[in-house]
Amino acid sequence: MRKLWISVVLGSSFVAAQAMSGVHAGVCEVPTQNPANIQATLHTTYMPNLLPVVLNSESKLGLSAEQCKAFNKFKNEKAPGGAKLSKQILSLESQSHDDALKGASWKQLQARNDEIQALRNKLANGKIKCHQFVKSQLNNEQYTKLINEIYPEFLKGMKNKAYK
């Protein structure tokens, strides 16, 4: 009987410990990315796209619920604007391509190019702000792990997904 009681106590302690260790699991809103979105992001900006990596790496980074909430809020407020800029850039580039083939003037093409560059600059500035935000939310150990281990693997996987 004593062995049974010890087994029950130890077993329930193990279950409770497992539950406590997973209290924060699943708090980050993991973005879904399809090949077209990945291609658009890789094409329209050279800056690292860290937020999806962070949100997909909650357990690897050991993110707290507070960190996830901050990242979720930033994503929900800022990501739609970045996606909109990427779509605008792609649309203007497509128009420029077609107009060049139709014989548009240098002045027309240059004006659109200036517009595209202004949008790219705005997108890059947003990515820089995002990078700084991510860095401010992670501790040194988490940030180092993100940059040196997780991001390179994630980027490789995203490129494979986008260009297979």
Report the pLDDT value the prediction gives residue 35, as an integer from 0 to 100: 85
5 pLDDT higher than 80? no
Predicted TM-score of the model (pTM): 0.77
Report the pLDDT value the prediction gives residue 23, as an integer from 0 to 100: 41
62 pLDDT higher than 50? yes
Could you give the CA distance from residue 58 to residue 86 in angstroms, rounded to a whole number?
26
Mean pLDDT of 46-73: 95
C-alpha 160, offset from chain centre:
16
Report the pLDDT value the prediction gives residue 87, as an integer from 0 to 100: 95
Phi, psi (rounded to 5 degrees) for 76: -65, -30
C-alpha 21, offset from chain centre:
25
Report the pLDDT value the prediction gives residue 26, as an integer from 0 to 100: 67
Tell which wins on pLDDT, 3 or 50.
50
Could you give the CA distance from residue 135 to residue 143 in angstroms, rounded to a whole number?
6
Identity at 6, one-letter amino acid code: I
Q: Model confidence over 102-136: pLDDT tens digits?
A: 999 999 999 999 999 999 999 999 999 999 999 99
- Percentage above 70 pLDDT, the chain: 84
Alpha-carbon distances, residue 8 vs 21, 25, 80, 123 (angstroms): 20, 26, 50, 57
Could you give the CA distance from residue 103 to residue 28 in angstroms, rounded to a whole number?
49
